Structure 1
Amino acid sequence: MPGSVQRAGALAGYPLRLPAMPLHDPWIVADRAAGLYHLYTTNLPAMTGDSRLGIMAYTSPDLAHWARPRVVFTLPEDSWANDGAWAPEVHRWKGRWYLFATFYNDAAPLPAHDGRHPVRRATLLASAESLDGPFALENDGAPLADPARMTLDGTLYRAPDGRPWLVYAHEWVQVGDGTIEAVPLDDTLRRAGDAITLFRASDAPWVKRPARADEVANFVTDGPELFRTRTGALLMLWSSYDAQGYVQALAQSASGKLEGPWRQLEPLVRADSGHGMLFERFDGQLMMVLHRPFHNARGKLYEMRDEGDRLRVLREATWLDGETHPTHP
């Protein structure tokens, strides 16, 4: 009984469970020193009481019980962007924490092409000394990728030689067949070269195809994250749509290098699930978090296995995420 009382007291500051936590594009950092998991997502005023455009973070000691979220970054009002705050990622680089997040402005058009009307959309960079923020804009708020490209969901990749790269999705809204691209960065995480195309959404055989021959083909790329396996294979989590909805996909570099060529493996999770990322639980278990369904999304947690040449879902952590209809029992 005393132990139960002590645990209840320790968790009093963590009243939320995942079913009560609206979120999209989750990103989790496991802070072993503090004994806390930080889950970053778009700021929701209903959860924080703060109406500003930005990023909020939930924290948890055990992935089951979560504190109410706090805003860790707000976009300055004089920014070129006025909406978004999508797909936040937080990475350690050169002694600081760096936040990558996507913003846009529908009133700032890019040149129309082939009947398409893209607008400014890009990943911005901010940094802080602590995982709790506050994060401050870097690079004067300039996009990390070419601002003429309509891009989103930028992620940091460290090559074996230590060089940083930004890997991101080039929007189908601009190009029709969305791509995953990469651009080299310098040590200050500024763009330092031209973009290369890694693959197209249509390369995946399961991606939803037009129902009619005369229907315009729009193929989505979304949410890339790179993972180096225990055998040195290079994998990428990314998302798109099949005929039933959102899909958590997996690709493998045949060369083990960022440049590829990339081959598409069997998706990890379907059932309107996606934009996943990997992290290590405090006990060493490899985990994946994603959101499901796409609308009114909640976080879903999976125990994973690194099989050397690919990843495998072991089971959905229903005791943590409260899912009553798991995709992988």
Structure 2
Amino acid sequence: MRLEDIQIRDPFVLHVPADADGPAPRTSTGRYHLFGSTDVDIWSGPATGFDTYWSDDLEHWHGPAPAFRPSPDFWSHTQYWAPEVHRYRDAFYMFATFTAEGERRGTQVLRAERPEGPYEPWSDGPLTPRAWECLDGTLHLEGDGTPYLVFCHEWKDVGDGEVQAVRLSDDLRATVGEPFLLFRASEAPWARSIPRPEFPEVYVTDGPSMHRTRDGRLTMLWSSFGDSGYAMGVATSASGDIAGPWTQADEPIWPADGGHGMIFADASGKLFLTLHTPNRTPDERARLFPLEETPDGLRLRR
């Protein structure tokens, strides 16, 4: 298959080098693994789980294979969103969004010994605050290796969507301390409010994804709505640390009908941005674009 054959939202690409070390079995090393929201209808109905696809060259893809399937007693059975997989220490960890009737949406951590899975619950339910509506958690490691969960506190609670962070335990099974605010969606000059009856103005935050540039700048991709619909911008930490302060690019890096992206490097070190577009079901597809780091920020090479 090619990417145009695969319905997927919130794409995430993990490259596992052929010479990857560690105790995890290496049957899939030297490959690119594509994860994302892969249920045919992620918005309603019972969820199947998460699938993964794999490729040796970023052009020809194989699969799908089941990366996660819930057990009958798993707490959530609907709206499985935005899985990310990070290699951390001796294993692979999936950060994914789940919800259930009577429960708040949140990000839970799952674990596997192989990048393709199968993934099993690792944290005891969501690590985002249980009283908040949250989504799209991602793993960030500070320069000293301290892990953090970066996530969105939804507009459904606060109107002006927030990006928050909380420190994680070294085993990624629990949080340490309280969440702290990084920024609000309305701080981006390009972000626009959308009509909702619950608040006078609603600003969306989606899909934070961290990227450290080669010269040491800490940046974050995140999505909201701009002048031409769903879009994706870039924020930069002035301190180079997760605490910020965070400044927003004036213009979105992807301005229309797509977003929820991330950055990865191929086997040669070349950077790519992946995102889904268009932003409508069932037509959403992952796309890959070469990416440049410039003194002025990140730039697509289309």
| TM-score after normalising by structure 1 | 0.82
Deviates more, 1:305-314 or 1:286-295: 305-314
What residue is the counterpart of 1:26 in the other structure? 11
Task: Tell me how far 1:53 sits from its aligned partner.
Answer: 2.5
CA contact (8 A) 2:47 2:80 kept: no
Instruction: Tell me, yes or no, if structure 1 residue 307 matches structure 2 residue 294.
Output: yes
Larger Rg: 1
* Equivalent residue for 1:294, pick from 279, 289, 292: 279
Q: Which residue of 2 aligns with 1:279?
A: 264
Q: Within 5 Å, which residues of 2 pair with 1:155-304?
A: 155-189=138-172, 190-209=174-193, 216-265=200-249, 266-295=251-280, 296-304=283-291
Q: State yes or no: 1:59 paired with 2:59.
A: no
More helix by share: 1
Aligned partners of 2:120 and 2:36: how far apart in 1?
A: 17
- Select the residue among 90, 107, 111 that pairs with 1:127: 111
Amino acid at match of 2:225: Y
User: Following the alignment from structure 2 to structure 1, what is the Cα–Cα distance between the partners of residues 114 and 194?
Assistant: 46
- Between the aligned partners of 2:195 and 2:67, the Cα distance in structure 1 is 43
Deviations 1:162-187 (Å, cap 9, x if unpaired)? 11000000011111110000000011
Cα drift, residue 45 of structure 1: 6.3
d(CA) in 1 for partners of 2:211, 2:54:
24
Deviations 1:236-267 (A, max 9, x none): 00000013111111011112111111111131
Query: Superposition RMSD on alpha carbons, in Å?
Result: 1.9
Find the residue that maps to 1:149 and give its secondary structure: coil
**Cα distance between partner residues in 1 of 2:209 and 2:83:** 12
Structure 1: 5+ residue stretches without partners: 1-15, 109-118, 316-329
Task: Give distance in 1, aligned partners of 2:71 and 2:38.
Answer: 14
Q: Aligned residue pairs: how many?
A: 283
Q: Please give the alpha-carbon distance, in whole angstroms, between the structure 1 residues aligned to 2:178 and 2:71.
A: 28
Which structure has greater strand proportion?
Answer: 2
Q: 1:152 aligns with which of 135, 142, 157?
A: 135
What is the identity percentage for the equivalent residue pairs of Structure 1 and Structure 2? 43
Partner of 2:92: 97
Q: Distance in 1 between matches of 2:233 and 2:72?
A: 36
| CA positional deviation for 1:211 | 7.8
Which of the numbers 54, 71, 75 marks the counterpart of 2:66? 71
| TM norm structure 2 | 0.89
Is the Cα–Cα contact under 8 Å of residues 91 and 97 in structure 1 kept in the other structure?
A: yes
Which structure 1 residue ranges, 4+ long, deviate > 4 Å from structure 2? none
Cα offset for 1:215?
Answer: 7.2
**In 2 relative to 1, CA 92–176 (structure 1 residues): closer, same or farther, beyond 3 Å?**
same
Distance verdict in 2 for CA 1:211–1:89, change over 3 Å: closer
Q: 1:137 deviation in Å?
A: 0.5
In structure 2, do the counterparts of structure 1 residues 44 and 307 end up closer, same or farther at CA, with 3 Å as the change threshold?
A: same
Deviation at 1:77, TM superposition (A): 2.6
The CA deviation at 1:138 is: 0.9
1:52 Cα deviation after fit? 5.6
Note the C-alpha offset of 1:208: 1.3
**Deviations for 1:82-128, whole angstroms, at most 9, x for unmatched residues?**
212211100111211000100112x21xxxxxxxxxx5100111101
State the secondary structure of the residue aligned to 2:186: helix
The answer to whether the 8 Å contact 1:152/1:171 transfers is yes
Distance 1:76 1:257, change over 3 A: same
Structure 2: stretches of 5+ with no match in the other structure? 19-28
